[in-house]
Amino acid sequence: MIEARPWTDPAGVHLRAKQRAEVLERYGGVDTEPGVHPSADDIAVFLIAFDDAGMPLGCGALRQLDVTSAEVKRMYVEPQARGTGVATAVLRALEQAAVDRGWTTVRLETGAAQPDAIRFYEREGYRPIPNYGDYIGFELSLCYERVLSSGAPADAR
């Protein structure tokens, strides 16, 4: 089950803390995220995936970039739930939320030390693009986008 929750939801705070710890570990303890970190003030959508017992399994958010596009932020799935479809379900729900808001393009940034994320996004239809916004000139950043069909569900490819 995937639910929209406030950015401040305790389950979301917990998942995002685990995501940040994992990223910091991959990059030797260095915060590699350029620009403004996402917050309740700039996140338009925050989703949390739960198992049948109500345990949070993963999360993801959208930050609006302009009138037609949004950026995926803080995608994370608990290690024990990886490979089970949770990440795909959260990503598709974020894409549907984007379509519902009239956004036709979803962008994201990941890093060179996250080959699992790179494979996931490419498998899910995201294509490499030149770095944008705060990621321009930042060598550790790899940027991707997917153009969504505004007239069809996000999962129609």
What's the average model confidence in pLDDT over 49-75? 97
- Indicate the pLDDT class of residue 46, thresholds 50, 70 and 90: very high
Pick the more confident residue, 155 or 38: 38
What's the average model confidence in pLDDT over 128-145? 94
Q: In this predicted structure, what is the pLDDT of residue 149? A: 78
Identity of the amino acid at 85 = G
Distance of CA 38 to the CA centre of its chain: 11
Checking if the pLDDT of 93 tops 50, the result is yes
CATH of domain 2-147: 3.40.630.30
Quickly count: other Cβ atoms within 10 Å of residue 105's Cβ: 16
Min mean pLDDT across 3-7, 119-123, 139-143 is at: 139-143
- Distance between CA atoms of 120 and 137, rounded to whole angstroms? 24
For residue 104, report the phi and psi dihedrals to the nearest 5 degrees: -105, -10
Q: In this predicted structure, what is the pLDDT of residue 150? A: 58
Q: In this predicted structure, what is the pLDDT of residue 156? A: 45
What's the average model confidence in pLDDT over 115-127? 96
Q: In this predicted structure, what is the pLDDT of residue 41? A: 95
